[in-house]
Chain A
Amino acid sequence: MANLIEDLGVGYVNENLAGALLFHNNVPHLIQEVRSDRISTTAFQGNMAKPVQVGGVNLPAKLLDKGFESLAHPPLGYRTAAAGKVLLELKNKQSFKRGLQLAEVITRFPPVTTYIAERFDIDLAYYMRSDVKAVACVENCFIPLAKGLEMIKAGEIFVFAISPKLAVIPCSRPKEYLEIVYEGRPVGNISIEGVVTGKITNVKSIMENLNGK
């Protein structure tokens, strides 16, 4: 696989990759400009609660040696934030430009999150900031199912993401307690003791298999 710059030309790469995130050593770098020998970026460090922007970081051009695979990114989807009070969902709207364009990453919130945030004076607009979105892409904020349920039982959190695809939120319907959501869709209920009572027979096995993916 040829280096993208050698393969496509520095002009094309610069035009199409500017604004994309390059994940180097699990740190998101926003590509500002690509030159023949280096990539000028802004790095995002820290965590969602306190993201830190570091401007003027130059990365070697050889990072693009793997072709478009160099632009691989972690799976988007659910993230737990604000110590378990906020569940956010990252989604790539895609564009004609290449790579994961930071401007095309949108943040969505399940209704219950907006409800809780209002009561705790949490400004959800904060999670739409570019630096927070960039850090959220790589932040390991997933909580295993059993541990998450324990934390809810102990009153430490309200919501949690099991994986980018699965999350547990308070249920909006009466007689239920917690709800399992799969990529934006509620798929069943789970009791605080971990008993899945969804309408789908194998939701539990799917949760186990997709756990962490």
Chain B
Amino acid sequence: MGNSLHKIVGKTPFTSHTASDEWPLASQLVGVELELEGLGGREADKLIGDTAESWSYHNDGSLRNGGIEMVLTTPMMGKELSRAISLFFSRTSTFPASSSRASTHVHLNMLQTEDTVEVLRNLCSFYYAIEDSLYSCISESRKWAVYASPMSSNFPYEVAMLFSEELDRNWWIKHLQAVGKTENNNGRHYGFNLKAMLKYGTVEFRHFPAVTSEQELRDWVNLCMEIKKVAVILDSKGLTTKAFFNSVDSFDQLVDLMPIWGYRLLSGLDRREAISKIEALYELLPVTPKYTGNMGSYEEHVLFKESDKIPKSKRSSKKKGLIDYEDLSADAGLFNEEASDRAQEQLRAWGEVAARTAGRPRLPTTRSIFPPSRVAAVQEAGRLVRSGRQRRAEEIINQFSRLGVELDVTRGTDGRVLGVIDMRTQRPIDILSPFLA
């Protein structure tokens, strides 16, 4: 048994409910949000009054035509959940016409004691692999509705960070917050919304259009539970999603694990791509931060907690010792010597922190994507040429020549390249330095 998620996100699990085998996960607590449009005022009042036992009502600014949002009063499981769904549809004789503006969201509680970090990891990665198929099963339209964007439209490394071996509360919370941070909507408008982990301790499925029948809603809740069930079973067997997908009969097993939705999901699944995506999540992405040094080490992330206490307006935009890839990819308008110096400084700072905290060797300060100065670049270029990397030097000269750059190449008596001057600028070609060693 791994670390329980409720301890990591600091919330108390719900307890007093009765499990039932009616659902794929007998003891899974579920929250449901139903967005409805087109209900008349009197009809809406009646529906709200009749279902008040299990459903509460909210206004939703994104809806029109008297739109309301009905939410389960509390997370439910088993027969209680079944009863609440039946109650709602028994009180709705004339169900309003579906509008593509309205949608249905299903929350799965992830704070139960059996919900471990590994379960969430498996859930994320399994969902990520089957995402395209899921959209085509439910509604392709939702994929482009902006309010339920696919996870693959996000930078997957933001999610992949959760797969890091750095198992720590600060690490997790930082990366849950980081999901979708580049978006203007706080990153919650994804079909698979991980932001709900921090707010409610749930994962939210936002793929579903406005509900039109009881059976439809039951199917969708079943689908969400079946997806989580796969994650739970894999965890109980000590498997990761990657190991599962790499097994020969994994796709046949999916049908057994997901008796209701398995066939439908598999029919639209590009197996080769699914496996690639999983491999990318598990192998490429968690490795790269360490590989590039962008994310720094655990000690640096503790700083995040401290800075979180500072009001956002007064917060420094830079965390000490952290290098953000985005910062290095400077906007064209801003790129100048100053930006180069800043990046250089950041690299140096990172090297110091990395050396201190992670035991990694200190970065040589003269090696960087930006030469520290033109003089240093020329010196380095000279050193490179002298060091006998003639073949590469010739390749670079060849590249420049083909691009129409007039060069003055100084060669020694033995034909070795001693220096290269750009005739237009009359400058030594310092661009050689980052390419050559």
Q: Kindly list chain B residues whose C-beta atoms are within 8 Å of the C-beta of A51.
A: none
Provide the bound-state CA to CA distance between A90 and B86, in Å.
46
Residue numbers in B under 8 Å from A158 (CB-CB): 399
Known contacts A99-B144, A172-B368, A174-B437; is A184 also within 8 Å of B183 by CB? Answer: no
Would you give the shortest CB distance from A57 to chain B, in whole angstroms? 21
Q: Quick check: is B94 within 8 A (CB to CB) of the other chain?
A: no
A154 to B289, CA, bound (A): 32
Does A123 lie at the interface of the complex (its beta carbon under 8 Å from any beta carbon of B)?
yes
- A210: which B residues are within 8 A, CB to CB? 273, 276, 280
Question: Contacting chain A: which of B108-116, B229-237, B248-256, B326-334?
Answer: B326-334
Residue with the highest number of chain B CB atoms closer than 10 Å, among A73, A154, A156, A206: A206
Question: Which residues of chain A are near B157, meaning CB under 8 Å?
Answer: 183-185
Closest Cβ of chain B: how far from A146's Cβ, in Å? 18
- Is the pair B185, A69 in contact by a Cβ cutoff of 8 Å? no
Q: In the complex, what residue of chain A is closest to B424 when comparing beta carbons? A: A121
Partner of B402, one of A112, A156, A202, A209: A156
Q: Which of A2-20 contact B (CB under 8 A)?
A: 2, 4, 7-9, 12
A206 contacts B279, C-beta separation under 8 Å: yes
A1-B141, A8-B99, A93-B183 known; A155-B402 Cβ under 8 A: yes
Query: What is the 8 Å Cβ interface bit string for chain A, positions 67-108, against chain B (1 contact, 0 not)?
Result: 111111100100000000100010111111111000010001
Does B239 reach chain A (CB closer than 8 Å)? Answer: no
Report A136-160 residues with CB < 8 Å from chain B CB.
152-156, 158
Report how many A-B pairs have Cβ atoms within 8 Å: 179
Q: Which residues of A contact B142 (CB under 8 A)?
A: 68
Question: What 0/1 pattern do residues 161 to 174 of A give for CB contact below 8 A with B?
Answer: 00000000011111
B287 within 8 A of A: yes
For residues 60 through 81 of chain B, which have their beta carbon under 8 Å from a beta carbon of chain A?
62, 64
Do B326 and A108 touch (CB < 8 A)? yes
B212 within 8 A of A: no
CA distance A118 to B275 in the complex (A): 40
Q: Could you tell me the distance between the alpha carbons of A71 and B140 in the complex, rounded to whole angstroms? A: 11
Which chain A residues lie closer than 8 Å to B400 at the CB level?
155
Give chain B residues whose Cβ lies under 8 Å from the Cβ of A125.
Answer: 332-333
CB distance from A101 to the nearest CB of B (A): 9
Count of chain B residues near A, Cβ 8 A? 64
Question: B184's contact among A94, A109, A128, A170, by CB below 8 Å, is which?
Answer: A94
Bound-complex Cα distance A109 to B326 (A): 9
- Encoded as 1 (CB less than 8 Å from any A CB) or 0, chain B from 388 to 399 comes to 000010010011
B375 on the A face (CB < 8 A): no
**Best-buried of A125, A171, A185, A186 by chain B (most CB within 10 Å):** A185
**Which of A126, A177, A184 contacts B155, CB < 8 Å?**
A184
Cα(A96)–Cα(B288), bound, Å: 32
Return the contact of B431 from the options A73, A116, A156 (Cβ within 8 A).
A116
Where the two chains meet, the residues of B that have a C-beta atom closer than 8 Å to any C-beta of A are 62, 64, 99-101, 140-146, 149, 153, 155-157, 182-185, 189, 272-273, 275-276, 279-280, 283-285, 287-289, 291-292, 294, 325-326, 328-333, 335, 343, 367-370, 392, 395, 398-403, 431, 434-437
CB-CB nearest 6 A-B residue pairs:
A124-B332, A174-B437, A155-B399, A209-B276, A172-B369, A155-B402
28 contacts between A and B (CB under 8 A): A8-B99, A8-B100, A68-B141, A69-B143, A71-B144, A85-B403, A94-B184, A98-B145, A109-B329, A111-B343, A114-B335, A116-B431, A120-B403, A124-B333, A125-B333, A126-B332, A128-B331, A172-B368, A183-B155, A183-B156, A184-B325, A185-B288, A185-B292, A192-B395, A199-B287, A206-B280, A209-B273, A210-B276
